[in-house]
């Protein structure tokens, strides 16, 4: 494939934008080579600035569950923009949107809209601290909750000790308030709660992890975490930025029968426009200003154009058979990847929940950070580029989830699996 225009744009971008990208994962550092610049998306397909076409299995990291330029969403954006892009004042759409979210997720009794997943998770932590009067939080290794200071923390010397900054600029004094436990390990949570439970405001978790590649909760794990939180007065914050309205209309909390105290959302709920949300128990959410003392604000929060796009997206997802179709196509891809890797003699582990899946280049089962790290990232990089050259756009990192959209049909599945056959076989020969 010719990438001349992408390469010239990337050279210009690096002169004025850190790393040439507006978000680090886009820079292909996890797979090598230079990022591709895109010109347009339509349905399941992306076209880059050199005219190369790809089946898109990233979907802007989750939001584009209906595919690119889904006509009802485009029309909703145009219609809203024609009536003004922002008021900085209440409008009817945000009331309808809040009622839709709360009507779909029973645990979300009240909701506040923001403009990104990071805003939602940072706000949820502040509300949990404000509501409980406690300062520590618990997160889980491999889970990512956006670029907020409380989350840019790596596990201390023992994974269950005080956090250490995982980025310059995060104060050590703040990082040590973040405790970390391995995902899928209830005993670790019990030990932490026994020692520090009374100091912990909340436990925040990706119910199905997408940011380590896909990690699937072991049977009973999430329900056990919820019970431990209730026992110790620790609020449970489900970060459904990726899973919300993707795994089911009611998100992971519907799939796993959970009733979290707070839920964070973004991605799908914005239909590709900047929109995030946090919500949950009314007694907790009434602590949020101006109803209560916990301050949080945003100039473009509940923006009418973003809300119009989000409503159009969520209404389309309410159509009968939506999630059955997503499951059917995602299973075809999962089974095809497994079969093609096996035929080529390449050991892989494929983790999938609904329309989120990851092909890990390891023969080991992958259920937490440590086991995910047994993956051969060099091999993943070679697989990624072989797929890219064959017209399939995978997430440019072994430790990210691929997302299946409703725009992907049998023809696109055949295209992806045909590319995978060649890519696995090339690995089988070259390693």
User: Which residues of the chain form contacts with ligand KE4 (CB under 6 A)?
Assistant: 23, 25, 61, 116-118, 121, 144-146, 206, 210-211, 239, 241-242, 266, 276, 400
Task: Name which of 276 and 302 has its Cβ closer to ligand KE4.
Answer: 276
Task: Name which of 151 and 424 has its Cβ closer to ligand KE4.
Answer: 151
Residue written as tokens 């949020």?
Answer: 288
Task: Name which of 59 and 93 has its Cβ closer to ligand KE4.
Answer: 59
Residue with the closest Cβ to ligand KE4?
117
Task: Name which of 58 and 420 has its Cβ closer to ligand KE4.
Answer: 58
What gap in Å lies between CA 228 and CA 401, rounded to an integer?
28
Min CB(10)–ligand KE4 separation in Å: 17
User: b vs e for 95-130, b when ≥16 Cβ sit within 10 Å of the residue's Cβ?
Assistant: eebbebbbebbebbebbbbbbbbbbbbbbbbbbbbb
Residue pair 406/326 in contact by the 8 Å Cβ criterion: yes
Residue 418, φ and ψ in degrees, nearest 5? -65, -40
Task: Name which of 23 and 157 has its Cβ closer to ligand KE4.
Answer: 23
Residue pair 339/358 in contact by the 8 Å Cβ criterion: no
Min CB(276)–ligand KE4 separation in Å: 6
Min CB(231)–ligand KE4 separation in Å: 25
Min CB(21)–ligand KE4 separation in Å: 8
Min CB(206)–ligand KE4 separation in Å: 5
Task: Name which of 277 and 341 has its Cβ closer to ligand KE4.
Answer: 277
Min CB(113)–ligand KE4 separation in Å: 13
What gap in Å lies between CA 125 and CA 130, rounded to an integer?
8
What gap in Å lies between CA 185 and CA 257, rounded to an integer?
19
Min CB(347)–ligand KE4 separation in Å: 25
Min CB(35)–ligand KE4 separation in Å: 12
């Amino acid at each position: 494939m010719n990438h001349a225009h992408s390469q010239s744009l990337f050279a210009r971008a690096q002169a004025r934008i850190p790393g040439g990208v507006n978000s680090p994962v886009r820079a292909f550092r996890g797979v090598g080579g230079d990022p591709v610049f895109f010109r347009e998306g339509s349905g399941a397909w992306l076209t880059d600035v050199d005219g190369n076409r790809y089946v898109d299995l990233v979907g802007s990291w989750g939001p584009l569950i209906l595919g690119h330029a889904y006509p009802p969403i485009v029309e909703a954006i145009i219609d809203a923009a024609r009536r003004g892009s922002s008021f900085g004042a209440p409008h009817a759409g945000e009331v309808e949107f809040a009622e839709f979210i709360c009507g779909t997720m029973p645990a979300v009794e009240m909701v506040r809209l923001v403009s990104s997943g990071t805003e939602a998770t940072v706000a949820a932590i502040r509300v949990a601290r404000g509501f409980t009067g406690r300062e520590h939080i618990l997160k889980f290794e491999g889970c990512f909750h956006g670029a907020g200071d409380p989350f840019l923390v790596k596990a201390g010397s023992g994974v269950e000790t005080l956090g250490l900054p995982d980025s310059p600029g995060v104060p050590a004094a703040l990082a040590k308030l973040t405790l970390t436990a391995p995902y899928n390990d209830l005993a670790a949570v019990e030990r932490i709660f026994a020692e520090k439970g009374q100091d912990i405001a909340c436990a925040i978790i990706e119910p199905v992890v997408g940011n380590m590649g896909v990690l699937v909760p072991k049977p009973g794990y999430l329900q056990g975490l919820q019970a431990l939180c209730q026992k110790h007065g620790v609020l449970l914050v489900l970060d459904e930025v990726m899973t919300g309205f993707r795994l089911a209309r009611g998100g992971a909390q519907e799939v796993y029968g959970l009733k979290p105290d707070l839920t964070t959302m973004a991605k799908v709920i914005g239909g590709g426009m900047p929109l995030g949300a946090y919500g949950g128990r009314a007694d907790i959410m009434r602590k949020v200003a101006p109803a209560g003392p916990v301050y949080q604000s945003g100039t473009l929060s509940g923006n009418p154009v973003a809300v119009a796009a989000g409503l159009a997206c969520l209404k389309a997802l309410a159509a009968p058979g939506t999630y059955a179709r997503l499951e059917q196509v995602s299973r075809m891809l999962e089974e095809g990847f497994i079969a093609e890797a096996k035929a080529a003699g390449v050991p892989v582990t494929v983790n999938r929940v609904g329309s989120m899946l990851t092909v890990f280049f390891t023969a080991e089962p992958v259920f937490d950070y440590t086991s995910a790290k047994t993956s051969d990232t060099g091999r993943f990089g070679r697989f990624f580029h072989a797929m890219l050259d064959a017209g399939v756009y995978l997430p440019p990192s072994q430790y990210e989830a691929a997302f299946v959209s409703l725009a992907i049909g049998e023809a696109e599945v055949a295209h992806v699996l045909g590319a995978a056959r060649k890519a696995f076989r090339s690995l089988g020969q070259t390693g």
